[in-house]
Amino acid sequence: MAKKLMKGCEAIGEAAVQAGCRLFFGYPITPQNEIPEYLSARLPQVGGTFVQAESEVAASNMLYGASGAGCRCLTSSSSPGISLMMEGVSYIAASELPVVIVNIMRGGPGLGGILPSQSDYLQATKGGGHGDYRCLVLAPSTVQEAADLVMDAFDLADKYRNPVLVLGDGLIGQMMEPVEFKRSTRLEDLPAKSWATTGCKGRERNIINSLYLDPEVLEAHNWKLVRKYEEMARTECRHEFWSPHGDADVLFVAYGSVARIAKTAIDALAEKGVKAALFRPITLFPFPGDALEKAAARVKHVLVSELSTGQMLEDVRFHLGKHRPVSFYGRVGGVIMTPDELVAEALKLAGKAG
Amino acid sequence: MSAPQPLRPNDYKTALKPVWCPGCGDFGVVATVYRALAQLRLPPEKVAILSGIGCSSRLPGYVAAYGFNGVHGRALPVATGLKASRPDLTVLVAGGDGDGVSIGAGHFQHAARRNVDVTYLLMDNQIYGLTKGQAAPTTPSGDKTKSTLYGNPDPPVDPCELALASGATFVARSFSSDMKGQVEILCAAIAHEGFAVVDVISPCVTFRGDDQYDFWKPKLRSLPADHDPSDRMAALRYCREREVLTTGILYREARPGLVARQQVTRAAAGYDPAQPPSVAALVHSFYP
Ligand SMILES: Cc1ncc(C[n+]2csc(CCOP(=O)(O)OP(=O)(O)O)c2C)c(N)n1
Ligand code: SF4
């Protein structure tokens, strides 16, 4: 398929269609309205269904119903709406159903603002709703990668029977870049879902459930979920290591849009005689901790940068251990750091601040 | 000390300049709020205006009173909390149709059932304004919006019908540029004990079209003089109108509000406001 210039949100919508998603449930919220708007026009063209729910609570429960029936389905929202969806997400994770959720994050807490942010990292990666569960979390840093990861998200959701969250920020959602849809899933090629509630004629009944009143049974269920997350950690960790100027002194750790800013800063630093590299987690859960450890072993300084007050920072510190100093530079509230700010931070660390 | 000056509508204006689009119906609504408050001689410090999120929900910022611009769909629960803790305040709630009868629909029904003593100004533009033009639950079937390119497949809900069905004790409809009618209704709504719903049609000229006033004005009718506002069935006849839009107080019923009923509950529990139990006495009651 040829490259097309598309807004991030629209590319996410088209990627879902190409991945075989035929159902979307959502509620408008800035800055991601282009996802539901695109799909409200696009899904009927492919025999799909778009429902504007009465609220995000409703949308997440519509997703629960549709995924139980074995359909590829999607919802999208932005931070305050994602909080409301947590009821459905917890039940979906408990019932082991595959759904894809896109969060185009905006500044919070509360109503916050509508400008880009990465302040839902902890909510996304540590469960978000009640109970012991995790979503698999993918973090794109370009429009192309957003499209690719949305397609992967549907496969991963099916593979693990688990909610997959695509965590972007307002920059990714709103900017336009050339994008190519690298594959197109034919619904008939998707593996059958033997667990789905599709009518039990000729087989045992399938039951979708998250209620286990017997504590021993619930405990076993919880450990079963944990084994699934451990399997994800073994097989699904993804990251990018970018070190175009040779052995680096400073390692930036950043994801999403911030990683792009860090790349610009790294090139500028090279001109000032400071070698820097980037470690960019692509899966935020599972976190690519082993790879980070390796990358960090070769540098003098680690600098985490986020559009938050330091959320991924907790995971970085956990993986590098408390004896390893880790610096942090964050901007919040919808303010985005410039490459110059990151350059200045790195120069300070390298002892070359003017 | 000189005698307090009577309040004029302008005294309720704040320094904030509304950021609504030119021609937005919400300008008319806020002007009627100024006039109604002045007419009822309500001092600003005795009034609280709460809202959810939406273009319409900006209204509290433009009225000199206590204000709250809050959580999308949740203005009524927040107002219930406020009224329960400060029954002395006159509490108004303003917000859009999406805020009130989509995400907040459950709260709307329960505020009506509880007869919470607040006036609810539902600023009804039949669209989601702030998020730039998606269908609302009030958008007529067949209408094209940003989220219904092929025409809205769903039927709309009529907020007045919903209010009546949920047990609201005061239900009225008005049109935002009908100053006189809207001020009359608002004054009656604020004076009413319990939950008073005013569905004010307030055109969104940006996302419903700049011909909105030409569309609505020929449809406007006043309630006939012989309408009996205590007759719920008669009120229901003015819901789901298509060819005309009837404005006025559709329904009114006297029933104790939340605040009055709380007093009854306290009396049943043995509480006497003339002799409130002291904390020391309460603590002592736990000792043998
Ligand atoms: C939980 C949550 N979901 C979605 C939104 C985004 N949002 C803000 S206002 C609004 C609806 C606006 O429509 P309406 O309530 O009818 O008010 P109007 O702007 O038309 O006056 C939405 C969906 C939000 N702020 N919070
Ligand atoms: S978008 Fe519509 S509702 Fe919002 S201010 Fe403009 S005209 Fe009014």
Q: Does residue A318 have a pLDDT over 80?
A: yes
Q: Where are the domains of chain B?
A: 9-284
**Average pLDDT, stretch A221-250?**
97
Ligand 2 atom 1 nearest Cα: B129
Q: Does residue B124 have a pLDDT over 70?
A: yes
Q: Does residue B123 have a pLDDT over 80?
A: yes
Burial of B46 from C-beta contacts in 10 A (0-12 / 13-18 / 19+): middle
Terminal alpha carbon distance of chain A: 49
* 3-class SS of residue B35: helix
Question: What number of CA atoms fall less than 13 Å from residue A8's CA on the CB side?
Answer: 25
Structure confidence at residue B285 (pLDDT): 82
pLDDT category at A354 given cuts 50, 70, 90 is low
B132 DSSP assignment: T
- For residue A196, the Cα-to-chain-centroid distance in whole angstroms is 25
Higher-confidence residue: B276 or B184? B184
B98: nearest CA partner in chain A: A54
Determine what percent of chain A is predicted with pLDDT higher than 70.
Answer: 99
Structure confidence at residue B4 (pLDDT): 65
Cα A118 from Cα A105, distance rounded (Å): 6
Structure confidence at residue A75 (pLDDT): 98
Inter-chain residue contact B131 with A111, CB threshold 8 Å: no
Cα A321 from Cα A297, distance rounded (Å): 12
Residue in B101, B131, B162 to test binding to A, most A beta-carbons within 10 Å? B131
Cβ partners under 8 Å of residue A233, min gap 6:
A286
Cα A257 from Cα A305, distance rounded (Å): 11
Residue type at B200? V
Is any ligand 1 atom within 6 A of the Cβ of residue B97? yes
Cα A252 from Cα A278, distance rounded (Å): 5
Q: CB of B101 within 8 A of CB of B108?
A: yes
Is any ligand 1 atom within 6 A of the Cβ of residue B53? yes
Structure confidence at residue B131 (pLDDT): 98
CATH of region B9-284, choose from 2.102.10.10, 3.90.1310.10, 3.40.50.1820, 3.40.50.970: 3.40.50.970
pLDDT category at B5 given cuts 50, 70, 90 is confident
User: pTM score, two decimals?
Assistant: 0.95
**Average pLDDT, stretch B186-193?**
98
Residue A212 to residues A58, A63, A134: CA-CA distances in angstroms? 24, 22, 19
Structure confidence at residue B276 (pLDDT): 85
How much is the ipTM here? 0.93
Question: Which of B102, B128, B148 lies nearest to residue A40, judging by beta carbons?
Answer: B148
Q: Where are the domains of chain A?
A: 4-235, 239-349
Determine what percent of chain B is predicted with pLDDT higher than 90.
Answer: 92
What are the φ/ψ torsions at residue A102 (nearest 5 degrees)?
A: -110, 130
What are A123-142's pLDDT values in tens digits? 999 999 999 999 999 999 99
- Least Cα distance to B102 among A272, A158, A27 occurs for A27
Question: Which of A41, A44, A54 lies nearest to residue B102, judging by beta carbons?
Answer: A54
Cβ partners under 8 Å of residue B233, min gap 6:
none
Is any ligand 1 atom within 6 A of the Cβ of residue A80? yes
Cα A13 from Cα A267, distance rounded (Å): 33
What are B215-262's pLDDT values in tens digits? 999 999 999 999 999 999 999 999 999 999 999 999 999 999 999 999
| Ligand 2 closest atom vs CA B20 | 5
Kindly report the CATH number that applies to the domain delimited by A239-349.
Answer: 3.40.50.920
Helix (H) or strand (E) run with residue B170 in it? strand B170-175
What are A89-122's pLDDT values in tens digits? 999 999 999 999 999 999 999 999 999 999 999 9
Q: Does residue B27 have a pLDDT over 70?
A: yes
To the nearest whole angstrom, how far is the Cα of B73 from the nearest Cα of chain A?
9
Ligand 1 atom 1 nearest Cα: A81
CATH of region A4-235, choose from 3.40.1010.10, 3.30.200.20, 3.40.50.970, 3.40.50.2300: 3.40.50.970
B149: nearest CA partner in chain A: A41
**What mean pLDDT is reported for chain B?**
96
**Average pLDDT, stretch A79-89?**
98
Cα B91 from Cα B80, distance rounded (Å): 9
Chain A segment 108-167 residues within 8 A of B by beta carbon are 110-111
Structure confidence at residue B2 (pLDDT): 61
Residues with CB under 6 A from ligand 2: B 20-21, 24, 26, 55, 125, 129, 204-207
Is any ligand 1 atom within 6 A of the Cβ of residue A114? no
Q: Within an 8 Å CB–CB cutoff, is residue A40 touching chain B?
A: yes
Cα B43 from Cα B64, distance rounded (Å): 10
Terminal alpha carbon distance of chain B: 55
Structure confidence at residue B288 (pLDDT): 75
Q: Calculate how far, in angstroms, residue B99's C-alpha sits from the geometric centre of ligand 1.
A: 6
DSSP A75-134: EEE-HHHHHHHHHHHHHHHHTT---EEEEEEBS-STT--SSB--TTHHHHHS-SSSSS--
**Average pLDDT, stretch A247-269?**
98
Inter-chain residue contact B105 with A54, CB threshold 8 Å: yes
Q: Does residue B1 have a pLDDT over 80?
A: no
